[in-house]
A and B are shown apart, each in its own frame.
Chain A
Amino acid sequence: MAMATAHPTSRAPARWQDYVQLLKPRVMSLVVFTALTGLVCADTRLNPILAGVAILCVAVGAGASGALNMWYDADIDAKMRRTRGRPVPAGRVQGADALALGIVLSLFSVMLMGMAVNWFAAGLLAFTIGFYAVVYTMWLKRWTAQNIVIGGLAGALPPVIGWAAATGTAPLNAWLLCAIIFMWTPPHFWALSLYTSEDYAKAGVPMMPVVKGAASTRAQILIYSLILIPICLAPAATGLGGPIYLGVAALGGLVFLLLAFRLYRSRAGEAADPRNDDGLYDVRAGARDARNLFAFSILYLALLFATLLGEHLTGVAPLELLR
């Protein structure tokens, strides 16, 4: 009997799909999209194969960050409903294997970026992987309620890497794309955390609703949204965005602000009052407002970057309001 429990085949076999899951393909696709936008917006003629290699390196680097994150966070992932099915907490992949995959892919992506494209872009990619894996995952995430605010820099850098890959430089417009994602991250993640805060509390992750409460989080979402919209409009003034971009940013920004205001007025994230029969309904209604902003935030960011991408690929003249 003891022999049977020590049997090496007693756990589920790791399939190659489990290793793909370690790379967080959905996050990777968003990173690829924003990096591609940065690369195209640079308006420089880069060899298309080298451009493809640059995007591949960003994708693999993002995947490496995901694997390192899943290795380190296996303990808290196991406690949350959303993440307990991931390969490491589910026992399909050993933590050491996830770590090895993350390190190997990090090295391959940075080295190939440096050799194929340029070392400035490679340096930015290495910084982004290190920032996400070490500064965010190992330090900020478990330590401060500002974790996703500061850690959001890692998710905001891919357009700068794309721009750097195309030109070897990182001008103001590249950092403007970075600023859009950076300021978008807090309202996006806090809206999600308002209806998943129980999970975060159970895992001991100091997300804003867990530490400061739902009301403070809703107020901060509104404040960040008010700062975000002017930043989203700025590319129309700096020669990066054209008239279509201005329209999308303005109209989408209005909807974003409306949803953020409705969320601010709601009771999202607050526990049901057991003395009130309608308590459960109230929480559901509040969660709906948080879900609406969460879902629209994804659409808004995708629309902004898709419009910029479309304008630069089709040659729509930028507005350059400040020139």
Chain B
Amino acid sequence: MSDPFREGEDFAKARRGRNIALALGLVVFVILVFVVTVIRMGGHVFDAY
């Protein structure tokens, strides 16, 4: 007897797509915050080193 709550192939594929999109969105956000921080600090962010 098959498990009625087992995820179908379509659902697994759709979920994988959503997860990749979310991961890409988060990566882009992190990069943006980093770049914006560097620009806003006027390039002096590395002066301490």
Interface residues of A (CB under 8 A from B): 3-4, 6-9, 13-16, 19, 47, 49-50, 53, 56, 108, 112, 115-116
Within 8 A of A (CB), among B4-42: 4-5, 7-8, 10-11, 13-15, 17-18, 20-21, 29, 32-33, 35-36, 39-40
A13 touches B4 (CB 8 A): no
Contacts of A112 in B (CB 8 A): 29, 32-33, 36
Which applies to chain B's interface (DSSP): helix, strand, loop or mixed? helix
* Least distance between B17 CB and chain A CB atoms (Å): 5
Partner of A19, one of B10, B20, B21, B40: B21
Q: Is the CB of A16 within 8 A of B36?
A: no
On whether A7 and B36 interact (CB within 8 A), knowing A13-B10, A16-B17, the answer reads no
A16 touches B39 (CB 8 A): no
Q: Given A13-B14, A53-B32, A112-B32, does the pair A4, B4 have CB atoms closer than 8 Å?
A: yes
Instruction: State A3–B10 Cα separation when bound (angstroms).
Output: 20
Assess the B18–A49 pair: CB atoms within 8 A: no
Q: How large is the interface on B (under 10, 10 to 19, 20 to 34, 35 or more residues)?
A: 20 to 34
What are 20 inter-chain pairs, A to B, with CB distance below 8 A?
A3-B4, A6-B4, A7-B4, A9-B8, A9-B11, A13-B8, A13-B11, A13-B14, A14-B18, A15-B14, A15-B17, A16-B18, A49-B36, A49-B39, A53-B32, A53-B36, A108-B29, A115-B33, A115-B36, A115-B40
| Among candidates B5, B17, B20, residue contacting A7 with C-beta atoms closer than 8 Å | B5
Structural contact, B29 and A14, CB atoms closer than 8 A: no
Tell me the complex Cα distance, A7–B4, Å. Answer: 6
The answer to whether A49 and B35 touch across the interface, beta carbons within 8 angstroms, is yes
- The one of B5, B15, B39, B40 in contact with A13, judged by C-beta atoms closer than 8 angstroms, is B15
List chain B residues, Cβ under 8 A from A50: 36, 39
Contact A116 B21 (CB under 8 A): no
A293 to B8, CA, bound (A): 48
Q: Is the interface of A mostly helix, strand, loop or mixed?
A: helix
The minimal Cβ–Cβ distance linking B22 to chain A, given in whole angstroms, is 8
Bound-complex Cα distance A288 to B4 (A): 53
Which of chain A's residues has its CB closest to B36's CB? A116
The residue from A6, A9, A116 contacting B7, defined by CB atoms under 8 A apart: A9
Bound Cα distance from A116 to B40, whole angstroms: 7
CA distance A53 to B40 in the complex (A): 12
In the complex, chain A residues whose CB is within 8 Å of the CB of B36: 49-50, 53, 112, 115-116
Closest to B18 in A: A16
Residues of chain A contacted by B8 (CB below 8 angstroms): 9, 13
Chain A residue nearest to B32 in the complex (CB): A53
Per the bound structure, the CA–CA distance linking A9 and B12 in Å amounts to 10
Closest 8 CB pairs of A and B: A13-B14, A16-B21, A116-B36, A13-B11, A16-B17, A9-B8, A15-B14, A16-B18
Q: In the complex the two chains form, what is the Cα distance from A96 to B32 in whole Å? A: 28
Bound together, the chains give a CA A50 to CA B37 distance in angstroms of 10
Q: How far is the CA of A116 from the CA of B34 in the complex (A)?
A: 10
Taking CB as reference atom, which chain B residue is nearest A116?
A: B36
A9–B20 alpha-carbon span in the complex (Å): 21
| Chain A contacts for B40, CB-based, 8 A | 115-116
Q: What residue in chain B is nearest A105 (Cβ atoms)?
A: B25
A47-B39 CB under 8 A given contacts A13-B14, A14-B14, A16-B18: yes
The distance in angstroms between the C-alpha atoms of A50 and B33, with both chains bound, is 11
A9 to B18, CA, bound (A): 16
